[in-house]
């Protein structure tokens, strides 16, 4: 047992760092750090585009994919290093819905034509995806979804409403769970469809989240006609594919590397923040709060490493993998909250983007992004199966209750 | 990065695990505790025969040259079995000093006896006024010709009642809380002027208040260099923290699993109480606390094996904070979920809870180690 990285892993780490320093250098990082994010807009900043292109050129755009589709054959340790280094560099990520959520379903269960058509575009971030899972009546009880897809010749006719659809207003396509049968168990009548967002009958209504952020939407589907060729896998097996997707990307879900970066930033800001003639960092009570979270974070990081090492040895992730989502989101929320504390009164300022663009930020340059992170971060314990649902899963699958 | 055990390590783990499973059920433990020493000498001899008492010592000293990982493997099982035999005071603490700083003569006189099971020991370090500060010492050792004369009061000496000899920390110079001026001495339990008041601790183990009144020991009783023992003490205590932390992890595993089993059998309102979501989520929390503690256990052991530096000391304190918090939670909730039965001496649950409570305090509690953790920032 040891924690040391092997020489070839260290070499890999150096390579990744060099790449990041070259294609996402420090001046870009710090400029981005204090840019608020009120609205996701179509199209992307030129610096992000250049970075995504550089990733593709290097063959590093989608490390977790199979090699034949442009992925890598990195070891779990290398993937771990990659996660750490990308968090450290605060670089842009490929849109997760395409690259991390849909792609594994496609390369596992998609038809050759689907793979050929979609995977390269996702890899190059030339096609943006959103995920049509939740519905007004199907949140934690996702299998209760009611959006109907009825076969009509070579097409499905889809009717229903999806909600909390992140990025639907900028997405080109949506992967969607729809009900194709009402017989038997509710999980057994669900299919996995790919829907072009320009199809007639689709209406996207924005939902403004806490903090004025527009990232999620309601998507109404009225007689939307989807070619049968856009069905993934078998009809009525969609639930299996969606569940299979959950076992991908288990690590990384804990967000350890990002939380580590945030923790370091909190320390840094606390050292710069004046209190009673000294700095906030001189306040022993404050430091204890930070250190308590730091210990939680180290425990989580080690839990993630334990899971990685099981995978590296060809085993399935053990029961400890199931706690990564719960603890990871709890911890990032705790850090986001602490980060607000650090700013004191200036944590309260919330000027909109136009004001910032014209006159610069009010208070600390990171103040606004910290508040946005905290507000938006509340969603992390709700989406992807709320933490309460995760506990139900552990209770059943691990404890046998 | 590697989390796998070597073949030797797996064998060691299996050996202790088998003993706990086959030869140390709760009844046998109870019988051992009822013996005069509060543990079984027969078991101790068996530990010697199985080689467990030799694990941390170098091959030249007659041991196996085991490190922190080996210590972890043994202590985790000791925690699962709630073993009362004095492995910590004898092998980890006294043995820890002898193997690091003992002279050839000291090793011959004492270490051989530890390894073959004939000698038990204890480390007398705490004092009534010192709380967790290892350097807060009023016990003095004054040089007098070819000897030292020790005077003072050592508090809560774990394993004191059965110790054949003790390692005693005392001040040879400096002020009460100075790190400089602390020395270590080997003192026979039978030494003239040494008296003990023995008592049980809450977990059923034994400890002593040790009074030293003009106890005279030879110059050859000094371990290491005079006045320079503080770093050595810190290092050995960090080993001991790893040891009791691993014990806590073993105890937590037993407790969360026992609670889950109990909740499947105990029927109320016409169904097993494990069907109630409020209890399910509590048990998931217990499981997560156990796993997080286990993760930091691996980290602490691996850091210690790398090198005894700031990172290792920080990892040890982080681990102690985690097991302090988690142990309290898992222990308290295990009692809670067992209901009235959890309150009884009859069930093992309460005994694990008591040991976990004890471990939280041993060698510095959560508050103490959170501060120490921060001091490495």
Q: What b/e sequence results for A203-240 when a residue is b if at least 16 CB atoms lie within 10 Å of its CB, and e otherwise? A: ebeeeebebebbbbbbbbbeebebeeebbbbebbbbbb
Burial (0-12, 13-18, 19+ Cβ within 10 Å), A157 = middle
What tokens does B12 get? 């060691």
Q: Which residues of A touch B295 (CB under 8 A)?
A: 299-300, 302-303, 305-306, 320
Rounded-to-integer distance, Cα B86 and Cα B84, Å: 6
Q: Which residues of B touch A319 (CB under 8 A)?
A: 287, 291
Q: B309: helix, coil or strand?
A: coil
Rounded-to-integer distance, Cα A219 and Cα A212, Å: 19
Query: pTM value?
Result: 0.93
Whether the per-residue pLDDT at B357 is higher than 60: the answer is yes
Q: Which of B357, B366, B259, B264 is nearest to B322 (CA)?
A: B366
Q: Which of the two residues, B73 and A94, has the higher pLDDT score?
A: B73
CATH of domain B231-375: 1.20.140.10
Whether A394 and B281 have beta carbons less than 8 Å apart is answered as no
Question: Which chain A residue has the Cα nearest residue B72?
Answer: A1
Confidence of residue A213 (pLDDT cuts 50, 70, 90): confident
Domain with CATH 1.10.540.10 in chain B: 7-119
Query: Tell me, what's the ipTM?
Result: 0.95
B122-227 belongs to CATH 2.40.110.10: yes
**Which of A78, A254, A295 to probe by mutation at the B interface, max B CB count within 10 Å?**
A295
Which value, to the nearest 10 degrees, does the dihedral of the CA atoms of residues B359, B362, B364, B365 take? 30
Whether A371 and A350 have beta carbons less than 8 Å apart is answered as yes
Confidence of residue A312 (pLDDT cuts 50, 70, 90): confident
What tokens does B211 get? 């009074």
> Which residue intervals of B6-133 are DSSP H helices?
7-23, 26-34, 41-50, 68-81, 87, 95-101, 104-106, 112-116
Rounded-to-integer distance, Cα A357 and Cα A44, Å: 17
What tokens does A336 get? 């986001």
Q: Which residues of B touch A297 (CB under 8 A)?
A: none
CB–CB of B298 and A1 under 8 A? yes
Which residue in A267, A313, A399 is closest to B283 by CB distance? A399
Domain with CATH 1.20.140.10 in chain A: 250-397
* pLDDT for res A45: 82
Which residue in A77, A298, A398 is closest to B299 by CB distance? A298
For the stretch B80-122, pLDDT in tens is 999 999 999 999 999 999 999 999 999 999 999 999 999 999 9
For the stretch B199-230, pLDDT in tens is 999 999 999 999 999 999 999 999 999 999 99
Calculate mean pLDDT across residues A295-309.
92
Rounded-to-integer distance, Cα A152 and Cα A155, Å: 5
Q: Which CATH architecture has domain A250-397?
A: Up-down Bundle (1.20)
Question: Which entry of A15, A44, A249, A312 is annotated as an active-site residue?
Answer: A249
Whether the per-residue pLDDT at A47 is higher than 60: the answer is yes
Domain with CATH 2.40.110.10 in chain A: 129-236
Residue A79 DSSP code: H
Superfamily of domain A129-236: Butyryl-CoA Dehydrogenase, subunit A, domain 2 (2.40.110.10)
Q: Which residues of A touch B1 (CB under 8 A)?
A: 2-6, 9, 77, 305, 308-309
Confidence of residue B146 (pLDDT cuts 50, 70, 90): very high
Judge whether A57 counts as a catalytic residue.
no
Q: What b/e sequence results for B324-358 when a residue is b if at least 16 CB atoms lie within 10 Å of its CB, and e otherwise? A: bbbbbbbbebbbebbeeebeeeebbbbbbbbbbbb
> Cα B237–B196–B92 angle (5° rounding)?
25
Q: Please tell me if residue B365 touches chain A, with a CB cutoff of 8 Å.
A: no
What tokens does A272 get? 């710069």
Calculate mean pLDDT across residues B299-303.
97
Q: Please tell me if residue B3 touches chain A, with a CB cutoff of 8 Å.
A: yes
Whether the per-residue pLDDT at A182 is higher than 70: the answer is yes
Whether the per-residue pLDDT at A96 is higher than 80: the answer is yes
Confidence of residue A352 (pLDDT cuts 50, 70, 90): confident
Whether the per-residue pLDDT at A211 is higher than 80: the answer is no
Residue A233 DSSP code: S
Q: Which of A143, A119, A23 is nearest to A67 (CA)?
A: A119
Q: Which of A260, A330, A302, A293 is nearest to B249 (CA)?
A: A302
Whether B223 and B253 have beta carbons less than 8 Å apart is answered as no
CB–CB of A303 and B301 under 8 A? no
Interface of A with B (CB under 8 A): 1-6, 9, 77, 267, 284, 287-288, 291-292, 294-296, 298-300, 302-303, 305-306, 308-310, 313, 319-320, 323, 326-327, 388, 391-392, 394-395, 398-401
> What DSSP element (H or E) covers B375?
helix B366-375
Calculate mean pLDDT across residues A374-385.
89
Whether A195 and A165 have beta carbons less than 8 Å apart is answered as no
Whether B116 and B286 have beta carbons less than 8 Å apart is answered as no
For A252: left if phi > 0, alpha if psi spans -120 to 50, otherwise beta; the answer is left
CB–CB of B370 and A288 under 8 A? yes
CB–CB of A395 and B288 under 8 A? no
Whether the per-residue pLDDT at A248 is higher than 60: the answer is no
* pLDDT for res A251: 55
CB–CB of B296 and A2 under 8 A? no
Three-state SS sequence of B324-351: HHHHHHHHHHHHHHHHHHHHCCCCHHHH
B7-119 belongs to CATH 1.10.540.10: yes
Domain with CATH 2.40.110.10 in chain B: 122-227
Report in angstroms the alpha-carbon separations of B218 from A77, A111, B106, B143: 55, 85, 12, 10
Q: Which of A230, A253, A97, A248 is nearest to A171 (CA)?
A: A97
Whether the per-residue pLDDT at A38 is higher than 80: the answer is no
Rounded-to-integer distance, Cα B127 and Cα B154, Å: 5
Q: Which of A70, A78, A86 is nearest to A120 (CA)?
A: A70
């Amino acid at each position: 047992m040891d924690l040391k990285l092997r020489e070839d892993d260290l070499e890999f780490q150096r390579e990744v760092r060099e790449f990041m320093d070259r294609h996402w250098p420090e001046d870009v990082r710090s400029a981005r750090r204090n840019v608020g994010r009120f609205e996701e807009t179509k199209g992307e900043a030129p610096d992000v585009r250049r970075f995504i292109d550089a990733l593709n050129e290097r063959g590093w755009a989608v490390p977790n994919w199979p090699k034949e589709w442009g992925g890598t054959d990195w070891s779990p340790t290398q993937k771990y290093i990659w996660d750490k280094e990308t968090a450290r560099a605060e670089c842009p990520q490929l849109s997760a819905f395409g690259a991390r959520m849909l792609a594994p379903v496609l390369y596992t269960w998609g038809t050759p034509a689907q793979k050929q058509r979609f995977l390269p575009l996702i890899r190059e971030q030339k096609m943006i995806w959103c995920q049509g899972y939740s519905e007004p009546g199907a949140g934690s009880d996702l299998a209760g979804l009611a959006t109907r897809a009825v076969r009509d010749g070579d097409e499905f006719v889809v009717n229903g409403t999806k909600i909390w659809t992140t990025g639907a207003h900028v997405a080109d396509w949506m992967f969607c769970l729809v009900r194709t049968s009402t017989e038997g168990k509710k999980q057994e009548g669900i299919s996995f469809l790919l829907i072009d967002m320009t199809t007639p009958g689709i209406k996207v209504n924005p939902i403004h989240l806490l903090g004025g952020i527009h990232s999620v939407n309601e998507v109404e589907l009225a007689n939307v006609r989807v070619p049968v060729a856009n069905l993934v896998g078998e009809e009525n097996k969609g639930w299996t594919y969606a569940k299979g997707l959950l076992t991908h990307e288990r690590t990384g879900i804990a967000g350890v590397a990002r939380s580590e970066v945030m923790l370091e930033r909190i320390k840094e800001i606390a050292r710069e923040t004046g209190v009673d003639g000294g700095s906030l960092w001189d306040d022993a009570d404050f430091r204890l709060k930070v250190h308590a979270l730091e210990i939680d974070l180290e425990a989580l990081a080690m839990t993630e490493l334990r899971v990685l090492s099981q995978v590296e040895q060809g085993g399935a992730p053990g029961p400890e993998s199931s706690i990564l989502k719960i603890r990871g989101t709890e911890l990032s929320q705790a850090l986001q909250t602490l980060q607000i504390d650090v700013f004191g009164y200036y944590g309260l300022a919330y000027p909109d983007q136009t004001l910032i663009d014209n006159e610069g930020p009010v208070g600390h340059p990171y103040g606004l992004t910290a508040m946005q992170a905290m507000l938006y971060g509340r969603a992390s314990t709700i989406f992807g199966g709320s933490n309460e649902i995760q506990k139900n899963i552990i209770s059943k699958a691990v404890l046998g209750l | 990065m590697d989390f796998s055990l070597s073949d030797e390590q797996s064998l060691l783990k299996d050996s202790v695990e088998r003993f706990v499973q086959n030869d140390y059920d709760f009844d046998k433990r109870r019988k051992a505790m009822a013996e005069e020493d509060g543990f079984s000498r027969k078991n101790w001899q068996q530990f010697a025969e199985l080689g467990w008492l030799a694990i941390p010592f170098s091959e030249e000293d007659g041991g196996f040259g085991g490190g922190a990982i080996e210590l972890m493997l043994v202590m985790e099982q000791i925690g699962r079995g709630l073993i009362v035999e004095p492995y910590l005071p004898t092998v980890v603490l006294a043995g820890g000093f002898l193997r690091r700083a003992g002279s050839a003569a000291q090793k011959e006189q004492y270490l051989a006896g530890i390894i073959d099971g004939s000698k038990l020991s204890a480390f007398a370090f705490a004092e009534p006024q010192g709380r967790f500060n290892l350097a807060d010492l009023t016990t003095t050792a004054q040089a007098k010709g070819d000897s030292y004369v020790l005077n003072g009061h050592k508090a809560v000496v774990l394993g004191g009642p059965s110790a054949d000899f003790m390692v005693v920390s005392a001040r040879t110079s400096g002020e009460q809380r100075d790190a400089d001026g602390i020395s270590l001495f080997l003192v026979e339990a039978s030494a003239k002027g040494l008296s003990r008041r023995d008592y049980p601790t809450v977990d059923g183990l034994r400890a002593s208040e040790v009074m030293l009144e003009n106890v005279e020991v030879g110059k050859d009783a000094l371990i290491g260099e005079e006045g320079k023992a503080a770093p050595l003490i810190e290092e050995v205590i960090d080993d001991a923290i790893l040891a009791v932390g691993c014990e806590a992890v073993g105890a937590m595993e037993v407790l969360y699993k026992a609670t889950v089993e109990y909740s499947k059998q105990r029927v109320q309102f016409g169904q097993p109480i494990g069907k109630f979501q409020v209890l399910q989520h509590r048990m998931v929390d217990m499981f997560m606390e156990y796993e997080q503690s286990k993760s930091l256990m691996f980290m602490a052991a691996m850091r210690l094996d790398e090198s005894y530096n700031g990172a290792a000391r920080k990892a040890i304190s982080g681990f102690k904070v985690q097991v302090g918090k988690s142990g309290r939670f898992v222990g308290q909730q295990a009692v809670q979920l067992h209901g009235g039965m959890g309150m009884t001496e009859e069930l093992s649950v309460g005994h694990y809870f008591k040991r976990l409570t004890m471990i939280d305090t041993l060698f510095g509690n959560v508050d103490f180690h959170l501060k120490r953790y921060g001091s490495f920032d």
